[in-house]
Amino acid sequence: MELLRLIKSKQCVREYKKKRIPHNILSKIIEAGIWGPAVHHYQPWKFFAITNKKTIVEIAQLLLRADSSTKTVSNLLEYSASNIIRSAAAIIIVYNSGDMHAMRHRLKQLYLKFERILDIVELSAIAAAIQNMMLVAESFGVGSCWLDTPLLQAQKINKLLRHKGKMVAVITLGYASQRNTRSLRKPIKDSVNYIK
């Protein structure tokens, strides 16, 4: 499929079929993330790929607060994210590996020059890795959804996974039980300023 057409047709999937993703396809999806842009040879991501349904349900459950009877925006978002995660065949929890901060000792001058923008540089590279994974998933007919709401419960999820890293996102994966329509985009003229 032509890449631009794939990008335009890719949808956020919020409900999945009860169908396993073959390991070879999941491996290719993760490989696409690993081939995201490195920054001075640093690859600032760490992926936790989870296919164990019990663990996926536990993570979904962590998003449901004890006070979920109150209808705050935060509770509604967490409830929605919990349902999306619960129905997924696999999830990939994306962490900032912190490797770039390790360059502080190796490349003092470079680090000092870029220290104030380092968080943005890391997040940009991680975001590109996530987009790579989602596009490759789509090319295999696997739906995905990029969730930020689980970050509200990052400490609890980290405790469950016995990991101390800085969580960046949760990506859900699976075969869509229904397809949504994509939201319309602004015309290019409203989004781009060309300077010739």
- Computed on alpha carbons and rounded to an integer, the radius of gyration of the chain in Å comes to 18
pLDDT (tens digit, 9 = 90+) per residue, 110-136? 666 666 677 788 899 999 999 999 999
pLDDT over threshold 90, residue 5: no
pLDDT (tens digit, 9 = 90+) per residue, 133-163? 999 999 999 999 999 999 999 999 999 999 9
What is the reported pLDDT for 175? 97
DSSP 117: G
What is the reported pLDDT for 81? 92
- Give the pair of three-digit tokens for residue 40: 């001075």
- Specify the range with the lowest mean pLDDT, choosing from 57-66, 72-81, 102-111: 102-111
Alpha-carbon distance of 55 to 40, in angstroms, equals 35
Q: DSSP per residue over 50-113, as a string?
A: E--HHHHHHHHHHTS-TTTTS--HHHHHHHHHHHHHHH-SEEEEEEE--HHHHHHHH-HHHHHH
Q: Percentage of the chain with pLDDT > 90?
A: 56
Q: Can you tell me the mean pLDDT for 69-78?
A: 71
More confident residue, 74 or 131: 131
CATH 3.40.109.10 fits 3-191, yes or no: yes
Q: Taking the complete model, does pTM exceed 0.85, yes or no? A: yes
Alpha-carbon distance of 146 to 18, in angstroms, equals 19
More confident residue, 128 or 78: 128
The chain-wide mean pLDDT, for the chain, equals 88
What is the reported pLDDT for 126? 95
pLDDT over threshold 60, residue 173: yes
